[in-house]
Amino acid sequence: MKKKITILGSTGSIGVNALNVINNLEIDIVGLSANTNSQLLIEQAKKFQPKSVSIVDEDAYLIVKDALKNTSIDVLCGRNGLLEISSRDDVDLVLNALVGSSGMLPTVYGIRAGADIALSNKESLVMAGKIIERERKKTNVNIFPIDSEHSAIWQCLVGESKEEVKRLILTGSGGPFREKKISTFKDIKPEDALKHPNWEMGKKITIDSASMMNKGLEVIEAVWLFEMDPQKVDIVVHPQSIIHSMVEFDDTSVKAQLGLPDMKIPIQYALSYPNHIETNWEPLDLVKIKSLTFENVNYERFPCIKLAYESLNREGTSPSVLNVANEQAVYRFLNKEIGFMEIPKLIEIAMDNHDWTEDPSIDDILSLEVWTTNFVKSFSSKYIK
């Protein structure tokens, strides 16, 4: 029987890749969602004939509604439309490729509706890891990571016992500023940060890669996905992005997963698990790559990583605030309102000043999201020391 799936964020880079990948697989598209890109959503809807589509932007909704008026496809609108399409009980799997904190609730709703989640939206677990773990166990659904590092760890753990894992080793490319003089970091412009050496990604995640906050968020993601103690999750810088991550076992044996840096591989594995399905993609040629190198993380250069570990240390609401503050600080940086090195400073100030609680509910996290957003948006950069 064909697997029935919904793709949230189908017009973004992960969503588009996912729709390319499913040509290899036995899959039925039940729902598609987009934020503002009406033209691409219309094209995708005509090609894949889902039962429903949703689009957040209201003007874009009118365009999609009109274009699909002679079809049986149901067109939903706004944040409510997105949540409705996330909660359908006739899907086997929801692929969440939304960007940022707004992807958290759709993950929770998908789980509550009994769907497995193929999760590219790492912010879901950073914002609400504990709640998502709890909800997942209640409905007994799976979360399959669509993040190259977590897919690598997942593949390394197949057939292994988690009790024998000594540590997870996340690899990170180090981004475009791995070798840049720290004294010149204050002059970094959005254009500089948007150039990533190995991966093609959206704007938000590209800035997160430049600040290495992306790696920090991935540490938190790994803690929840693999139910691992934060002390057992390490990072090593690996500029070639060929080893996607590793697992070290108690006997010092290390397993790694390798591949060219192409998101199609983790996307397909999340949809085809436990199988590796044949493709015509370019194979990894290690002789051509010649050398793989490794370095320690420089925390002075990348304070965002330290903040991510610190948020895990503080537990409770701290990782949620870290995540939302980072998102808002990144937008302010992209708008040229603050400098690159003010991103971690704003996050730290928000973490220190929020109303901390140990075991927040979804509603607590949502109100904290509003608080943090306003706090970071309105914080005058002249007070950042």
By CB under 5 A, is residue 221 in contact with Mn ion?
no
Shorter beta-carbon distance to Mn ion: residue 65 or 196: 196
Q: Give the Cβ contact number of residue 191 at 10 Å.
A: 7
Residue 327 lies near Mn ion (rule: CB under 5 A): no
Closest approach, Cβ 145 to Mn ion, in A, equals 9
Pick the closer one to Mn ion by CB: 37 or 214.
214
CB nearer Mn ion, residue 149 or residue 342: 149
- The vertex-125 CA angle with 124 and 130, nearest 5°, equals 125
Q: Considering only 113-121, 145-153, 188-196, 204-212, which stretch makes contact with Mn ion by CB under 5 A?
A: 145-153
> Closer CB to Mn ion, residue 116 or residue 149?
149
- Closest distance of CB 309 from Mn ion, Å: 17
Closest to Mn ion by CB, 32 vs 322, is: 322
Q: How far is the CB of 203 from Mn ion (least distance, A)?
A: 16
Count of positions on this chain that bind Mn ion (CB under 5 A): 3
Q: Is 147 in the site for Mn ion (CB under 5 A)?
A: yes
211 — phi, psi (to 5°)? -85, -5
Selected range binding Mn ion among 91-99, 106-114, 144-152, 267-275, rule: CB under 5 A: 144-152
**Candidate ranges 7-15, 148-156, 179-187, 319-327; the one touching Mn ion (CB under 5 A):** 148-156
Stretch that binds Mn ion, among 123-131, 146-154, 291-299, 332-340 (CB under 5 A): 146-154
Give the interface segment with Mn ion, choosing from 59-67, 85-93, 97-105, 140-148 (CB under 5 A): 140-148
In the bound state with Mn ion, the residue whose beta carbon lies nearer, of 56 and 235, is 235
Nearest residue to Mn ion, using CB?
147
Residue recorded with tokens 């050398």: 291
What count of other Cβ atoms lies within 10 Å of the Cβ of residue 348?
A: 19
Cα 315 to the chain's mean position, in Å?
20
- Answer for the pair 336, 323: CB distance below 8 angstroms, yes or no: no
> Could you tell me which stretch among 61-69, 149-157, 333-341, 359-367 binds Mn ion (CB under 5 A)?
149-157
Q: Are 53 and 73 in contact (CB under 8 A)?
A: yes
CB closer to Mn ion, 147 vs 248: 147
Measured CA to CA, the distance from residue 318 to residue 223 in angstroms comes to 15
Give all strands (DSSP E) within the chain, no chain letters: 3-8, 27-34, 52-55, 74-77, 93-96, 116-119, 143-145, 165-172, 233-237, 243-249, 254-258
If DSSP states are collapsed to H, E and C, what string results for 146-188? CCHHHHHHHHHHCCCCHHHEEEEEEEECCCCCCCCCHHHHHHC
Q: Which long-range contacts (CB under 8 A, 24 or more apart) does 136-140 make?
A: 136/111, 139/111, 139/112, 139/114
Residue 278 token pair: 């044949």
Least distance from Mn ion to the Cβ atom of residue 215, Å? 8
Pairing of strands 93-96, 74-77: unpaired
Beta-bridge partners for 165? 249
User: Rule CB under 5 A: which of 66-95 touch Mn ion?
Assistant: none
Considering beta carbons, is residue 149 or 348 the nearer one to Mn ion? Answer: 149
Q: How far apart are CA 340 and CA 207, in angstroms?
A: 9
Residue 166: Cβ within 10 Å count: 14
- List the interface residues with Mn ion, window 281-300 (CB under 5 A): none
Q: Least separation, in Å, of the C-beta of 149 and Mn ion?
A: 5
- Residue number, 101 or 151, with CB nearest to Mn ion: 151
Q: What is the nearest approach in angstroms of Mn ion to the Cβ of residue 201?
A: 9
CB of 231 to Mn ion, least distance (A): 21
Instruction: Please identify, using beta-carbon distances, which residue of 76 and 205 lies nearer to Mn ion.
Output: 205
* Nearest distance, CB of residue 137 and Mn ion, angstroms: 25
Long-range contacts of 374-381 (CB under 8 A, 24+ apart): 375/325, 375/350, 376/324, 376/325, 376/328, 376/329, 376/332, 376/346, 376/350, 377/328, 377/332, 379/346, 379/349, 379/350, 381/337, 381/338, 381/339, 381/342
Which residues are near Mn ion by CB under 5 A? 147-149
